[in-house]
Structure 1
Amino acid sequence: MKVFHGIIEIAGQMGILCGALKKKGNIAVGYNTFHSYLGYQDHLINTDAVELRKDFKHILNFYDLFHYHYASTISGQFKDLKWIKRKGKKVIMHHWGNDVRFHDMARLNNPYVYTGDSPSNEEIHRKLSIISKYISQAIVQDYEVLPYVEKYYQKVHVLPLAIDLGKFSPSYPNVGKKRPLILHAPTNPDFKGTAFIEKAIDELRSTHDFDYRRIEKMSHEQVVTLYKEADIIVDQIRCGSYGLLSVESMALGKPVITFIRPDLVNKFPPNLPIVNGNPDNVKEKIKMLLESLSERKRLGVKGRKYVEQVHERTVVVNKLLSIYSQL
């Protein structure tokens, strides 16, 4: 099978999925038009929308299946979807969150959520209405994203984030370390709740001995190297679900603080080892981990096992291939 992934790389997922599909004997390439300091390269052709449109005829004829991401396709007005349908090719849309997070709906079960990066409700509805005329099935990364899109498609599949564990050797917290290191990497401080996190950290400095580092504007490869030094990682405490940083942190054997919405807790596997922290209680959650060396180690070990079972790329791509077979 020849699979096209495009056109926006989110958290390295296009590349990871393409790599895993190749290992299963498929031809898979990610075409990325979104370029950031994170610098994702694996299994990608980093290009731009103009070049992609020039090559569309060849791409349309060559690939069997089109796996689009982030409510975007090769044509700005989704005209390519008509041609894909006429050709009888398979196609699916993968939604990630900010592309479809209706502002009012997001606040129904989450008083902390930040939706400033999402388009207007009207624009989200317009795009989903057009896309779903031509695409009958979609993928979302978790149950936080599911409600935003489920009414537009005939079927929506939940596919966990994928990770190449070969690049993540566990480095469990050192229980004898006197000054624990807390890391926070806000690709978007408003979305992740950085102000709440750093306020809690400042208040804890007077009573606890630790180091804190905020990581910004570094490539993904550089950031992962720094994660290995951490004893505690605080990720996103406003969204209501966990993202790639949490997955990578658990893969490295680190305890992670992230906000999981109460109504979504039972949607994840029961052994999810994340410390559930929100803007109101993040100080207490950090304090608990600072004061419990054994808990940091226990959660680190448990987190690695969780990622192996849920997010390892072969596990995820087997589910993806099952989804493809239903198109």
Structure 2
Amino acid sequence: MGILSSALINKGHYSLGYNTFNSYLGYKDNLVNIDVEALEESYQEILESYDVFHYHYGTTLSPDFSDLPELKRRNKKMIMHHWGNDVRFHDQARKNNPYVYTGDSPPNEVIHDKLTKITAFIKEAIVQDYEVNEYVKDYYEKVHVLPIAIDLEQFHPNYPSTTKEKPLILHAPTNPDFKGTYYIEKIIEKLKQEYNFEYKRIEKMSHEEVINIYKDADIIIDQVLCGSYGLLSVESMALGKPVLTYIRPDLISTFPAELPIVNSNPDNLYNQVKMLLDNPDKRKELGMKGRQYVEMYHSHDVVVNQLIDIYMNL
């Protein structure tokens, strides 16, 4: 939210994100970090101050969605942005993905009930990719695929050295079950018997601290179960690092052809990490391609133009 708001401000609009999900990640740019009670106190002022209401993660200003009929009455523009776990129907996710973990998604009937209530008033949605799209496409009149946005000024590439004797492999699980940390660390232990490298698992640190540590990495393993890539993969590519993440075979063609992610799941992760440990030049090459990819598709200056088009046509 904060990244999109800052990009909108750069384009001459007024934008602010109200965040009720406060975590150790400590995001603060263009955000009001607020609790639900304080948000309710600002309710009237927010209703009167804004023209476009861009909601996230299946939540709105009111826990019971009672703000939606009021916004409709006032002819305000509304759109919902779904991110994955808020709409990932369990059985549907398993259909195309034998590895997927959906333990942090609500029960199917809760997701369905929420989507039904939201779509009575909000007719269009945004998702980050086609993995999320398939869960919501039958509920909305229109779903827009808008890539994850990051502010590249905060990410200066530091490409892996081709002469480093002890490469550093990093993994930062915000949710170890979702990211597949168990499988990742099992394979790391196996590889440690054959290679000389350092492994760090990064947890419970602010976003700023994590990015500083990532600058020294030679290989970043993100998520090996979900079937698509997320924010951490994008940030890692922006830093010029080779990234290992699982992309579902049926989704590969929905991403730009230049996507330089090393496609890795629990069954092939050993070979994929081994390949990178054996090829320092490949690590650097993928790091450079990753940076170029993010500049082309994930820079908030690029994504914001697509977002404004979506707003203008609501």
What TM-score, normalized to structure 2? Answer: 1.00
Aligned to 1:21: 8
Q: Given residue 97 of structure 1, which amino acid in structure 2 is its aligned partner? A: G
Aligned to 1:147: 134
Q: Distance in 1 between matches of 2:95 and 2:312?
A: 35
Aligned to 1:249: 236
Is it true that 1:94 corresponds to 2:81 in the alignment?
A: yes
Task: After TM superposition, give the deviation of residue 17 of structure 1 in Å.
Answer: 0.2
What is the 5 A alignment of 1:183-198? Answer: 183-198=170-185
Could you give the per-residue CA deviations for residues 281-316 of structure 1, whole angstroms, max 9, x where no partner exists? Answer: 111111000000110011000000000000000100
Could you give the per-residue CA deviations for residues 241-271 of structure 1, whole angstroms, max 9, x where no partner exists? Answer: 0001100100000000000000000000000
Q: Distance in 2 between matches of 1:15 and 1:22?
A: 10
Is it true that 1:55 corresponds to 2:42 in the alignment?
A: yes
Task: After TM superposition, give the deviation of residue 58 of structure 1 in Å.
Answer: 1.3
Q: Distance in 2 between matches of 1:100 and 1:281?
A: 28
Aligned to 2:167: 180
Aligned to 1:7: none
Is it true that 1:74 corresponds to 2:52 in the alignment?
A: no
Q: Distance in 2 between matches of 1:209 and 1:229?
A: 16
Aligned to 2:19: 32
Residue among 286, 294, 305 paired with 1:307: 294
Q: Distance in 1 between matches of 2:33 and 2:44?
A: 19
Q: Given residue 10 of structure 2, which amino acid in structure 1 is its aligned partner? A: K
Is it true that 1:319 corresponds to 2:310 in the alignment?
A: no
Tell me the SS of whatever aligns to 1:116. Answer: coil
Q: Given residue 63 of structure 2, which amino acid in structure 1 is its aligned partner? A: G
Aligned to 2:248: 261
Q: Given residue 151 of structure 1, which amino acid in structure 2 is its aligned partner? A: D
Residue among 115, 119, 124 paired with 2:111: 124
Q: Distance in 1 between matches of 2:242 and 2:63?
A: 41
Q: Distance in 1 between matches of 2:155 and 2:254?
A: 26
Aligned to 2:269: 282
Tell me the SS of whatever aligns to 1:75. Answer: coil
Task: After TM superposition, give the deviation of residue 141 of structure 1 in Å.
Answer: 0.7
Q: Given residue 247 of structure 2, which amino acid in structure 1 is its aligned partner? A: I
Aligned to 1:209: 196
Q: Given residue 162 of structure 2, which amino acid in structure 1 is its aligned partner? A: V
Task: After TM superposition, give the deviation of residue 55 of structure 1 in Å.
Answer: 1.5
Aligned to 2:31: 44
Tell me the SS of whatever aligns to 1:98. Answer: coil
Would you identify which runs of 4 or more consecutive aligned residues in structure 1 move more than 2 Å?
Answer: none
Task: After TM superposition, give the deviation of residue 326 of structure 1 in Å.
Answer: 1.1
Gaps of at least 5 residues in structure 2 are none
Q: Distance in 1 between matches of 2:193 and 2:175?
A: 27
What is the 5 A alignment of 1:158-173? Answer: 158-173=145-160
Tell me the SS of whatever aligns to 1:191. Answer: helix
